[in-house]
Amino acid sequence: MFTGIIETVGHIARTEPRGGDLRLCVDSGALDLGDVKLGDSIATNGVCLTVTGLTGSGYWADVSQETLACSTLGELVPGAVVNLEKAMQPSGRFGGHMVSGHVDGIGRIVGIRDEGRSVRYRIEPPPGLGRYIANKGSITVDGVSLTVNGLEGDSFELNIVPHTAEQTIISRYREGHRVNLEVDLVARYLERLLQGDDTQSGSAGMTQEFLAQHGFGGRGRR
């Protein structure tokens, strides 16, 4: 489990295709690996990767076909910068929100504009993911825990303050850039719980009608 509070920015040192899979070597920069051992997890651009080797300046990790299919890790080349966060310790501060490191899909930057000292980014999620994204709710973008500051059609907006821009790779985003998205865990589990046995009959998911049938959103309800 992670918090979405990025510890440092590293870069891809080496990539090795392995029969359809991929092996990544990450230079972890200022990330302290003194307490990291083989089998531990490090979120790399929001993807939970298992450390399979330590190099002294970073770590190796294997990336499966499944992970390559639903994240941007396969697009990274040596020198590409990545957000890094070690798995949360029970005694640590919970500064962001619950992040599993299991990416739900790839979004695309479709708009960037200055807003005072901050920068406003508009992101288009892949089809089907938008229903889990709520105004003022939490979302993880390339491993960064962020607050949704607006919804516009099928896209959502984020307000990035200078500190976040300085501590992550977000300031490098340009229109068209692809990013890893992980929606709030609570939204995913709520849908599954409300569906119940309906999932066996091909339910289309959480809709306004579905919520009304289960006692949510009725007129005058408190």
Longest distance between any two alpha carbons in the chain, whole Å: 61
Question: In residues, how long is the chain?
Answer: 222
Q: What is residue 221's predicted lDDT score, i.e. its pLDDT? A: 36
CATH number for the segment(s) 8-86:
2.40.30.20
Q: Which helix (H) or strand (E) holds 166?
A: helix 162-167
Residue 130 DSSP code: G
Summary mean pLDDT of the chain = 88
Q: Does 105-185 match 8-86 at the fold level?
A: yes
Instruction: Give the residue extent of every domain in the chain.
Output: 8-86, 105-185
Q: How many alpha carbons lie under 13 Å from residue 121 in its C-beta half-sphere?
A: 26
Q: Which amino acid is at 107?
A: G
For 124-160, the pLDDT digits (tens) are: 999 999 999 999 999 999 999 999 999 988 899 999 9
For the cut 50, the answer to whether the pLDDT of residue 220 exceeds it is no
What is the chain's percent helix, strand, coil content, to nearest 5?
Answer: 20, 40, 40
The torsion angle over the Cα atoms of residues 204, 207, 210 and 214, rounded to 10 degrees, is 130
* C-alpha–C-alpha distance, residues 170 and 168, integer Å: 6
Neighbours of 71 (CB within 10 A): 26
Fold of domain 105-185:
Elongation Factor Tu (Ef-tu); domain 3 (2.40.30)
For 183-204, the pLDDT digits (tens) are: 988 888 888 888 776 545 444 5
Please give the structure tokens belonging to residue 173: 């985003």
* C-alpha–C-alpha distance, residues 182 and 163, integer Å: 22
